[in-house]
Amino acid sequence: MRDPIAKKVADMKPSGIRKFFDIVSEMKDAISLGVGEPDFDTPWHIRDEGIYSLEKGRTFYTSNSGLMELRREICSYTGRHYNVRYDAAKEVLITVGGSEAIDIGLRAMLEPGDEVIIPQPSYVSYEPCAVMAGGVPVIVNLKEENEFRLTAEELEAVITPKTKVLILPFPNNPTGAIMEREDLEAIREVILKHDLIVMSDEIYAELSYKEEHVSIASLPGMKERTILINGFSKAFAMTGWRLGYACGPENIISQMTKIHQYCIMCAPTNSQYAAIEALKHGDRDVEEMREAYNERRRFLMHEFKRIGLKCFEPYGAFYVFPSIKEFGMTSDEFAVKLLESKKVAGVPGTAFGDCGEGFLRISYAYSIENLKIALERIEEFITELRA
Amino acid sequence: MNEITELRMKILKAIEHDGRVNLGELAIRLGVDETDVANEMADMEKEGVICGYQTLIDWDKTDTQIVTALIEVRVTPQRGQGFDVIAERIYKYSEVDSVYLISGGFDLMVIMEGRTLKEVSSFVTDKLSALDSVLSCATHFIMRKYKVNGTILAKKYEDERMLITP
């Protein structure tokens, strides 16, 4: 029989997370610090609205772009929080998670051979999505000494005549790094100079602990060349509802909507109704969750300092990214050993790009009690290694 | 909110659900000095903002029988003193757990605990109803406590998330 698989799919590397997941699943009663989703349940009033929409029999399709009321709420939200104003009728598309927006955004923009700049360490799907869309990923290895922020020099250094899109994944998974206003202003000049399109994945925007998140789309001249991606998963603890959105210039959003219409039709209807409630009445929930994450973040940073584990202070998302270089092991070796000897699971930094080597992603989407137990075990582990 | 009020609010929110929190740890979580937390707590205790530290017990899970009753009491307010005097006469009984002044169809909500139904009913008939200003009592026995002071007693939820996700 002929080989049924397309070469570009066969060539796609399985996610490094997957491999580690299989090892962890074998292990009974391991404490995991490996989860990339909130430990909170979706706030009840939001869930209730989802249930109500089912009770009312709202089990139909919505328009391809998503419910108008939800798009309006999104526009009011981006206006009030990030000072970027979009037209609900033409500049917003509701997607199945931020992930779909990444995929169809790249597919809508890339010609074969177009280069996509992807700063790493970062979320696992940018690179394969860029490849599947016919693009050529160009990786920028972010540096710990820059707190894993993207600098103008780093960006400038990888730009070629073929560069078309810059992916901007901040606040960042897995490092927890953020880009503050002056960081964004610095790269803005490079972006304008080389006429790049920005795909700004701001799914963790609400989880910023230093200053209120700044969207690159709010800087002068940027809105018309930025696809802003956000969603409900992290801010409102709604991962399983699979709901995200893309905002951007009409010419890009309308083409993305075409792809979305043919492969998805529309995002889940009852999730959309729940999301309206989230945006209308969820500000307090977000604030409470953010405060809880921030307490855990401070606690972890304090503990790392106490046990002498080197880690830059991250101000976003719910991850810390300590360096394990002093132990002379690869991230994989360290993570597997930590799991086997102390039953604590972190994710090797290499799952998020080669430059994650020497780091471990620790999620703090866990209760303080859980974090304490895990930290005790990590302390034992590294004390034994140092002995 | 000024800084002190903000710190106080954060402390109160934390200890409202965990009265046993370690002050050093709380200070780390809030990103402030431990002495500041200790001082604010001492001040709030003095000012009566913090009225006590209690333990939430699900007696149903012990061998001890405890009956909780919620009693709606209608009373005649007294000239010049409103409900305060009668409320005091009621809350001084050690059997009485909580007393609230309520708007609506009755006046005082009394929550009490006893070992048996009989103990509760004899308190209501012999003590409570016998008070001069009490016009009527309607006693409701609590059959099951699902959630108390923000804590769900009914069941524990397991973390069902996958162990590793991107």
In a mutational test of the B interface, the residue from A17, A294, A299 whose CB has the highest number of chain B CBs within 10 Å is A299
How confident is the model over A151-166, as pLDDT tens digits? 999 999 999 999 999 9
Question: Which of A258, A282, A306 is where one domain is finished?
Answer: A282
Residues of B with CB under 8 A from a CB of A: 10, 25, 28-31, 159, 161-166
Number of domains in chain A: 2
Question: Which of A282, A316, A332 is where one domain is finished?
Answer: A282
Does residue A1 fall inside a structural domain? no
3-state secondary structure of A207: coil
| pLDDT tops 70 at residue B1 | no
Q: For residue B4, what pLDDT is reported?
A: 81
How confident is the model over A47-101, as pLDDT tens digits? 999 999 999 999 999 999 999 999 999 999 999 999 999 999 999 999 999 999 9
Does residue A387 fall inside a structural domain? no
| pLDDT tops 80 at residue A184 | yes
Check whether residue A74 and residue A195 sit in a common domain.
Answer: yes
Does residue A197 fall inside a structural domain? yes
Is B25–A299 a contact, with Cβ atoms under 8 angstroms apart?
yes
Smallest CA–CA distance from B166 into chain A, residue: A36
Whether the CB-CB separation of A131 and A8 falls below 8 Å is answered with yes
Residue A296 with chain B: CB contacts under 8 Å: 29
Check whether residue A54 and residue A127 sit in a common domain.
Answer: yes
Alpha carbons A232 and A72: distance in angstroms, whole number: 15
Is A17–B162 a contact, with Cβ atoms under 8 angstroms apart?
no
- The pLDDT of A14-42, averaged and rounded, is 88
Does residue A306 fall inside a structural domain? yes
Q: For residue B101, what pLDDT is reported?
A: 96
Check whether residue A272 and residue A367 sit in a common domain.
Answer: no
Q: For residue A178, what pLDDT is reported?
A: 98
- The pLDDT of B12-21, averaged and rounded, is 92
Does residue A137 fall inside a structural domain? yes
Which CATH number is B59-148 given? 3.30.70.920
List chain B domain ranges. Answer: 3-46, 59-148
Instruction: For residue B106, name the pLDDT band (cuts at 50, 70, 90).
Output: very high
Does residue A180 fall inside a structural domain? yes
Check whether residue A363 and residue A230 sit in a common domain.
Answer: no
Is B29–A298 a contact, with Cβ atoms under 8 angstroms apart?
yes
Instruction: For residue A20, name the pLDDT band (cuts at 50, 70, 90).
Output: confident
Does residue A305 fall inside a structural domain? yes
Alpha carbons A13 and A259: distance in angstroms, whole number: 25
pLDDT above 90: percentage of residues in chain B = 78
Question: Which of A257, A282, A307 is where one domain is finished?
Answer: A282
Task: Show the tokens assigned to A330.
Answer: 């690869």
Check whether residue A135 and residue A180 sit in a common domain.
Answer: yes
In a mutational test of the A interface, the residue from B17, B164, B165 whose CB has the highest number of chain A CBs within 10 Å is B164
Alpha carbons A180 and A304: distance in angstroms, whole number: 24
Comparing C-alpha atoms, which of B75, B70, B86, B67 is closest to residue B138? B70
pLDDT above 70: percentage of residues in chain A = 100
| pLDDT tops 90 at residue A179 | yes
Secondary-structure breakdown of chain B: helix, strand, coil percentages, each rounded to the nearest 5: 35, 20, 40
Question: Which domain does A332 fall in, by range?
Answer: 7-42+284-382
Average pLDDT over all residues of chain A: 96
Tell which phi-psi region holds residue A53, choosing left (phi > 0), alpha (psi between -120 and 50) or beta.
Answer: alpha
**DSSP-assigned beta bridge partners for residue A244:** A95, A231
Residues of A with CB under 8 A from a CB of B: 15, 17, 20-21, 24-25, 30, 32, 34-37, 39, 123-125, 173, 291, 295-296, 298-299, 302, 345, 347, 351, 368
Smallest CA–CA distance from A298 into chain B, residue: B29
- The pLDDT of A236-255, averaged and rounded, is 98
How confident is the model over B32-46, as pLDDT tens digits? 999 999 999 999 999
For residues B77 and B135, the model is more confident at B135
Is A298–B30 a contact, with Cβ atoms under 8 angstroms apart?
yes
Check whether residue A88 and residue A165 sit in a common domain.
Answer: yes
Quote the DSSP letter at residue A28: T
Check whether residue A224 and residue A99 sit in a common domain.
Answer: yes
Quote the DSSP letter at residue A69: H
Is B164–A24 a contact, with Cβ atoms under 8 angstroms apart?
yes
Instruction: For residue A26, name the pLDDT band (cuts at 50, 70, 90).
Output: confident
By Cβ distance, the residue of A15, A30, A296 closest to B163 is A30
Nearby residues of A84 by Cβ (< 8 Å), 6 or more positions away = A78, A215, A217, A218, A223, A228, A247
Q: For residue A28, what pLDDT is reported?
A: 79
Please return the burial class of B60, using the count of CB atoms within 10 Å of its CB with bins 0-12, 13-18 and 19+. exposed
Whether the CB-CB separation of A231 and A97 falls below 8 Å is answered with yes
pLDDT above 90: percentage of residues in chain A = 95
Check whether residue A251 and residue A291 sit in a common domain.
Answer: no
Q: For residue A216, what pLDDT is reported?
A: 98
Is A32–B25 a contact, with Cβ atoms under 8 angstroms apart?
no
Q: For residue B79, what pLDDT is reported?
A: 77
CATH label of the domain that carries residue A121: 3.40.640.10
> For chain A, what is the radius of gyration of the CA atoms?
21
Check whether residue A22 and residue A153 sit in a common domain.
Answer: no
Average pLDDT over all residues of chain B: 93
Residue B30 with chain A: CB contacts under 8 Å: 295, 298
- The string of DSSP letters for A121-168 reads S--TTHHHHHHHTT-EEEEEE--GGGTTPPPHHHHHHH--TTEEEEEE
Check whether residue A21 and residue A130 sit in a common domain.
Answer: no
- The pLDDT of A351-379, averaged and rounded, is 97
Query: Number of A:B CB contacts under 8 A?
Result: 51
Alpha carbons A358 and A130: distance in angstroms, whole number: 26
A306-315 in b/e form (b: 16+ CB < 10 A) is: eeebebbebb
**Residue A39: how many CA atoms within 13 Å on its side-chain side?**
24
In a mutational test of the B interface, the residue from A15, A24, A32, A370 whose CB has the highest number of chain B CBs within 10 Å is A32
Fold classified for B3-46: Arc Repressor Mutant, subunit A (1.10.10)
By Cβ distance, the residue of A25, A173, A302 closest to B163 is A25
Q: For residue A377, what pLDDT is reported?
A: 97
Instruction: For residue A17, name the pLDDT band (cuts at 50, 70, 90).
Output: confident
How confident is the model over A222-238, as pLDDT tens digits? 999 999 999 999 999 99
Q: For residue A266, what pLDDT is reported?
A: 98
Check whether residue A181 and residue A238 sit in a common domain.
Answer: yes
**DSSP-assigned beta bridge partners for residue B42:** none
Smallest CA–CA distance from A302 into chain B, residue: B28
Alpha carbons B28 and A376: distance in angstroms, whole number: 17
Calculate how close chain A gets to B56, using CA atoms only, in Å.
18
- The pLDDT of A230-247, averaged and rounded, is 98
Comparing C-alpha atoms, which of B75, B79, B80 is closest to residue B90? B75
Predicted TM-score (pTM) above 0.90: yes
Check whether residue A143 and residue A54 sit in a common domain.
Answer: yes
Residue B159 with chain A: CB contacts under 8 Å: 39
